[in-house]
Structure 1
């Protein structure tokens, strides 16, 4: 959680208890919660204003970000193919290999049992 260990978190809680006392902590938490809610509402309002502005200007945010998302997906796919090229072998190649493996198992099965 934010790079804070258990001991550090315990120490922070202890310091807060010593500074404010146990009776003030619920009030502080309530005030922090209200502040976070106001901040979230403000950011949502800013986002909606930006979206309305782009729509009024004739721009569509989905098409603008869609191209970026597609390029990122293509880059990820290319990196995956470069890192592990055997992962994307065509099924036309995999099926005969599996068939040969089964044939070898069928042939060597009786031999293994006799030993």
Structure 2
């Protein structure tokens, strides 16, 4: 079987074509600025997610509900989302 690596359900040739279009539209000198902006945006998103998580945890501790099954389920879901964001960020970093 022939497996091609995919990125967001897009094959390698599509990624190359999209990168070609980006270079044609923005120019090669603007691509580092765009990548920096995307990196800062992802960092801001990650920081905001961590801030929300810390506020929810602090509020739960203050109200004595930190060790319930509901909070464990929420923590598992937050961990899944964090892992998915880190996987996405890692694949973007590798592409740049």
TM-score between both structures, scaled by the size of structure 1: 0.54
| Deviation per residue, 1:18-37 (Å, 9 max, x gap) | 00000000011001101110
Measured on the aligned residues, the alpha-carbon RMSD in Å equals: 1.6
Q: What's the secondary structure of 1:27's corresponding residue?
A: helix
Q: Which has the larger radius of gyration?
A: 1
SS of aligned partner of 1:22? coil
- Runs of 4+ displaced beyond 6 Å: none
Which structure has more helix as a fraction of its residues? 1
Q: How far is 1:60 from its partner?
A: 1.6
Kindly indicate whether residue 43 of structure 2 is the aligned counterpart of residue 37 of structure 1: yes
How far apart are residue 41 of structure 1 and its match?
A: 0.2
**Structure 2, gaps ≥5 residues long:** 1-6, 77-96
Question: In the alignment, which residue of structure 1 is the partner of 2:33?
Answer: 27
Q: Out of 42, 51, 61, which is 1:55 matched to?
A: 61
Task: Find out whether 1:4 has 2:34 as its counterpart.
Answer: no
Structure ranking higher on relative contact order (CA contacts 8 Å, 6+ apart)? 2
Gaps of 5+ in 1: 70-115
Q: What are the residue-to-residue correspondences of 1:1-115 with 2, within 5 Å? A: 1-61=7-67, 63-64=68-69, 65=72
- Aligned-residue offset at 1:9: 0.3
Question: How many equivalent residue pairs?
Answer: 66
Q: TM-score, normalised by structure 2?
A: 0.64
